[in-house]
Amino acid sequence: MSQSENLSGAGPVLVPILGDQLTRGLASLAGRAKDDTVVLLMEVWDEATYVKHHQQKIALIFSAMRHFAAELEQDGWTVDYTRLTDPDNAGSFTGEVARAVERHDPREIDIVEAGEWRVQQAIEEWPDKFVCPVTIHPDDRFLCSIGEFRDWAEGRKTLQMEYFYREMRRKTGILMAGDQPEGGQWNYDYDNRGKPDKNLNPPPAPKFAPDAVTSEVMGLVAERFGDHFGKLDNFAWPVTRAQAEQARAAFLTERLPDFGTYQDAMVHGSDDLYHSLLSTSINLGLLDPVETCKLAEEEYYAGRAPINAVEGFIRQIIGWREYIRGMYWLEMPGLREANALEAVRPLPEFYWTGETDMRCMADCVRSTRDHAHAHHIQRLMVLGNFALIAGIRPQEVEDWFLVVYADAYEWVELPNVAAMALWADKGRLATKPYAASGNYINSMSDYCGKCVYSPAKKSGDGACPFGPLYWNFLIRNRPLLERNNRVSRVYSNWDRMDETKREEYLASAEKILAGLVPASEGWARG
Ligand code: FAD
Ligand code: DLZ
Ligand code: SF4
């Protein structure tokens, strides 16, 4: 029956809140009367299994949802919370909203747009499915709306993040001196290439021991999702806004000053370095991104953190994060199928097991398995880079990244993986592929010294696999990449190389590729 043929219900307004919308000031709650509203939170099977998320990721989301529901109730809201184990749980957002409509007879449903295209498609069908009117609010937790980003992108030849970021600086006034950037430069990335140093001693990020709510959820996850990737027992994520604020405060005082300098460094066994580890809290809605940037800005004006650190951190949030989200909505649904480099090789098994002699790769997979986290350069220049130069099919790599990180939602994972790491969008996001040999990893990490391979050995036994694969990648994609003036120079280097050396590179690459064992079925999807 269509909406127009029906009178809507006589009950309160129903406000469904999704698992990554855990924000008190959410647009669907703002200005609403508590005694006239039912807030609905839903643990549903479909969301927990559309890919087989890391066990810590499911525990984090369920625990944060349960804590958020309890806080809303304490504040006087009426909350209807459906647990995964409720016998009548319909298993999907639409099914659970339908059941809630029967329970509450709402006169209206108010929801904030979903982060993910897949979920948004389902929500957009609700006005035809339900008797009462459905209002879908823009998600104002982002600085730049989907429409604003579209306007910004329209008619531009290149969609470089840097220009978008300057707009966001102007819009917020963050690190601005009038209409000029603070310190005279928009971007201090040049100062952010510090190499790892033996004496680095970053203060560890706070760990949050599971409380009763998290422990109960961990039991549920172990029972229902024990076959999913990842270790569960060392769960230490912030699950409430108060904990997330504590984690943020510790970052701002203890690690922000060195964040910029060591942003690109990688150290074996050291998973956090000077990174904030705030992505899970920001993406869940526990921390406000702009507020977080303003607090970082205060550290600069108080003289407690240098400009390269503060600008670098702020750029990640109001620059990259907003830009990535804008690109997602600009490029979907096609981005999910994009494969400009026609990469078809299956994902190697070691992405799941960590069983490889490549020391960099093994360490990144270990961190991912144990903590549902790896930092940006590990994701981009080790895990993503290998997949790019080995020609792994983008959709398999995307599934992997969506499964394994506690901060992964498709809106942020997909552009980072498909466009930034794999260049599957043919350079709409990144002007050139982030392909690199072992020399880059060697210069930015302490991985190579104790590796069985050596980046100094260029081909044959004992050569770092990243070297031959790098050249194989460039030669394989020469017709497409040679025209790119940021890449063309490396082809001149190749052409000048001794022919025997070139043949050795290519033969080594073939051997490495032939030795990759494809992942067994069932890791990412059931
Ligand atoms: P910090 O290094 O402390 O950075 C501060 C904040 O900036 C982060 O918390 C995050 O909110 C934001 N940020 C930084 N870089 C990015 C970026 N490229 N895109 C969006 N936000 C950014 N981030 C996710 O949140 N979810 C993902 O699923 C995800 N997948 C990624 C996949 C690949 C291949 C790559 C290269 C990057 C991915 N990122 C993703 C971005 C980035 O790696 C993580 O946000 C970051 O590692 C989180 O750790 P942190 O909080 O310590 O970040
Ligand atoms: C990722 C996830 C998982 C594992 N489970 C749930 C859930 O049971 N209920 C819920 O509301 N959200 C969950 N999520 C997050 C959703 O997938 C997320 O809100 C959407 O991806 C946003 O579009
Ligand atoms: Fe990784 Fe190569 Fe270095 Fe080994 S030598 S750690 S494989 S970059």
Over residues 109-138, the pLDDT tens digits come to 999 999 999 999 999 999 999 999 999 999
For position 9, what pLDDT does the model report?
A: 84
The pLDDT mean for the chain works out to: 96
Residue 8: the pLDDT is: 73
Local structure of residue 317 (DSSP, 8 states): I
In this structure, what is the dihedral angle of CA atoms 293, 295, 296, 298, given to the nearest 10 degrees? Answer: 130
Residue 518 is given by DSSP the state B
Distance from Cα 404 to the centre of ligand 2, integer Å: 15
**pLDDT classification of 207: cutoffs 50, 70, 90:** very high
Alpha helices in 173-278 (DSSP H): 212-225, 241-250, 256-259
Of ligand 2's listed atoms, the one at least distance from the Cα of 43 is: 8
For a pLDDT cut of 70, what percent of the chain falls above it? 99
Kindly indicate the confidence band of residue 4, based on its pLDDT and cuts at 50, 70 and 90: very low
Ligand 1 centroid to residue 103 C-alpha, Å:
40
Portion of the chain with pLDDT greater than 90, in percent: 93
Q: Whose CA is nearest to atom 30 of ligand 1?
A: 413
Binding site membership of 315 for ligand 1 (Cβ less than 6 Å): no
Q: Give the ligand with the smallest distance to the CA of 111.
A: 2
For the CA of 359, the nearest ligand: 3
Ranges of H-type helices in 343-450:
350-353, 359-371, 376-377, 385-390, 394-404, 410-414, 438-444
Local confidence band at 246 (pLDDT 50, 70, 90 cut-offs): very high
Q: Give the pLDDT band (50/70/90) at residue 157.
A: confident
Instruction: Check pocket membership of 149 for ligand 1, CB cut-off 6 A.
Output: no
**What's the helix, strand, coil split of the chain in %, to 5?**
50, 10, 40
Among 252, 407, 420, which is best to mutate for testing ligand 1, by the most ligand atoms less than 8 A from CB?
407
pLDDT of 251-271, one tens digit each?
999 999 999 999 999 999 998
CB contact burial 438-453 (16+ within 10 A = b; e otherwise)? bebbbebbbbbeebeb
pLDDT at 433 over 70: yes
Spacing, Cα 92 to ligand 2 middle (Å): 10
Q: What angle do CA 507, 512, 514 make, to 5 degrees?
A: 95
Q: Is the confidence at residue 457, as pLDDT, over 60?
A: yes
* Nearest to 242, CA basis, from 34, 437, 495, 64: 64
Distance 202 CA to ligand 2 centre (A): 33
Residue 43 CA, ligand 2 centroid: distance in Å: 8
Residue 1 pLDDT greater than 90, yes or no = no
For residue 2, what pLDDT band results from cuts at 50, 70 and 90? very low
Between 59-63, 82-86, 191-195, the lowest mean confidence (pLDDT) is in 191-195
Does residue 524 register a pLDDT over 50? yes
> Cα separation of 511 and 468, whole Å?
10
Task: For ligand 3, pick from 448, 450, 459 the residue to mutate: most ligand atoms within 8 Å of CB.
Answer: 448
The rounded Å distance from CA 370 to ligand 3 centre is 21
Query: Taking CA 78 as the corner, what is the angle to CA 73 and CA 84, rounded to the nearest 5 degrees?
Result: 80
Nearest atom in ligand 2 to the alpha carbon of residue 49 is 4
Give the pLDDT band (50/70/90) at residue 196: confident
Distance 440 CA to ligand 3 centre (A): 10
Question: Is the CB–ligand 1 distance for residue 322 below 6 Å?
Answer: no
Q: How confident is the model at residue 194 (pLDDT cuts 50, 70, 90)?
A: confident
pLDDT value, residue 373: 98
Is 51's C-beta closer than 6 angstroms to any atom of ligand 3? no
Mean pLDDT of all residues in 99-104: 97
* Rounded average pLDDT over 366-392: 98
Considering every ligand atom shown, identify the ligand nearest to the alpha carbon of residue 372 and give its number: 1
Element (H, E) at 311: helix 307-314
Model confidence at 282, in pLDDT bands (50, 70, 90)? very high
Q: How far apart are CA 240 and CA 353, in angstroms?
A: 31
The pLDDT confidence band at residue 7, using thresholds 50, 70 and 90, is low
